[in-house]
Structure 1
């Protein structure tokens, strides 16, 4: 993995075997996605067309399982993970894969095996599985495997709770998703392992920007942890600039959440920052190489 690579740390693309599995469980009816916590969502088939998506501007695209589906919580989550790993790894370049794992029955041996596979960059977990220090401690066997493999953890929003039918379509992304990320970031702040590299999508729901309120209520942000990273999807120049003022430049990594948002390749904060965002910082996040 060369440092010069332009990397998108967070996209979604469903391979055909995963689409078939989603339909078999009733999540996907035709091309309409049905989740308990969200309004029905009309999926665009082109968004999951591998040939169309292979023209991505990034030289390396990291695909993650859609954690709001809740597959990590199902009794058969290992089956879904196997489908995800095999089909996503088969897509070819530029696609690389975040591994998935059951959070109900963690399988460290299974995770160790898949982390050793070609083009698997690390593990993704839903933020809902990291909601408090006790939850983090419960997953410690998976973190041991990550540490031994030298690979990072990505935290992605998990399932949204059931909501009223008359809420707008953007409600899950702006309310429960952000709250989940904020909560997981605070839990990691209390009980996370400083020997692991961890990245929070969507700038951790902007949780670090609440450091003044945290201090006012008796807490403290403490020194910036060089192993904590913040992926930028769905945010622009103002949010990114505000985060840099709190956590610095080194922890900000590019991600788009494509197809749900468009890549922001230049937030207008200078050429040096753009290089850090697209190339240098993702390289450090994924490999742990010295800066």
Structure 2
């Protein structure tokens, strides 16, 4: 008999769109919008959504079968909603918050916010819910230190609330014709994460000394470029204990390589479900406990590992 897999208690990164949010996307005539179950985005080919992926009962059953204590779901930043004109984006974000906060356990919610006209008062209100774990922002809003400064009102509210930031790829530019469907996920998404990580490294932490921050998809593997960084006159410096790297879409080799640079304590499990599935790194029981339980709990709550 094979040994049972350990319970995956915390998944820091999923997407699940409640019915009201789907209806709001279907009501639109400009990007982003849905036609039946086909998603239309400005920079990507139309994408056929599997309706079962957003069936709350089916998704909840899958999480409970995995032994999930928390599954943190977010608005998908590649939709571009955070970058829409302020009133237009805020209306969709309001629908996201109202509908996502009704999801049952084990789901929890990453808040969203307009980056064209940041509203810290609105963010403060939603962060007051114990079902909201923190704020997700698109990497496209954190491209350099000046961009991080523009997000300061939102980041200040996060620090006051003691809740973390999740950095997620934002909208992709229009894909040149003839390229495969995976191009946005492998080129602009990865480069956005890499750039936002470097921007935080240069100009984020000094302004927000107590903010816990997680980059999805291992920050586009940005820390693995530390030797090139040093060769060009920069430095990785001391590993920041409040910067985290979420694992979605990566497996054992990439995770192991990241651990050799940033250590075990910075790695947190995220699946990006339904676009990817949970990964079992196979690096031992102690490592499993760290990435599935101890590290995510510290990211989300600040409690000691």
TM bucket normalised to smaller: over 0.9
Q: Shift of the alpha carbon at 1:118?
A: 3.0
Superposition deviation, residue 5 in structure 1: 7.6
The counterpart of 2:277, out of the listed 246, 255, 262, is 262
The one of 38, 63, 78 equivalent to 1:32 is 38
Q: Of the candidates 16, 21, 34, which is equivalent to residue 19 of structure 2?
A: 16
Q: TM-score, normalised by structure 2?
A: 0.92
Per-residue CA deviation, residues 102-133 of structure 1 (Å, 9 max, x unaligned), is 00100001100000013000000000000010
For residues 186-265 of structure 1, what are the structure 2 equivalents within 5 Å? Answer: 186-193=198-205, 194-264=209-279
1:128 aligns with 2:131: no
The match for 2:75 is 65
Q: Which residue of 2 aligns with 1:43?
A: 49
> Residue by residue, what CA displacement relative to the aligned partner does 1:64-93 show, whole Å, maximum 9, x if unpaired?
101000000112111111100110010111
* Counterpart residue number, 1:112: 124
Q: Match for residue 291 of structure 2?
A: 277
Matched, 1:6 2:16: no
1:59 is displaced (CA, Å) by 2.0
Instruction: Tell me which residue corresponds to 2:182.
Output: 170
Q: Distance in 2 between matches of 1:5 and 1:152?
A: 20
Give 3-state SS (helix, strand or coil) of 1:54's partner. helix
Shift of 1:23: 1.1
Superposition map of 1:69-108 within 5 A:
69-75=79-85, 76-108=88-120
CA distance in 1: counterparts of 2:249 and 2:28, whole angstroms: 29
Count of aligned pairs between the two proteins: 287
SS of the aligned residue for 1:121 comes to strand
5+ residue gaps, structure 2: 1-6
Give the structure-1-normalised TM-score.
0.97
Q: Work out which of the residue numbers 196, 201, 204 in structure 2 matches 1:184.
A: 196
Name the counterpart of 2:155. Answer: 143
241-250 or 139-148, which deviates more: 139-148
- 1:290, distance to aligned residue in structure 2 (A): 2.5
Structure 1: 4+ residue segments shifted above 6 A: none
> Cα 1:71–1:30, aligned 2, differ >3 Å: closer, same or farther?
same
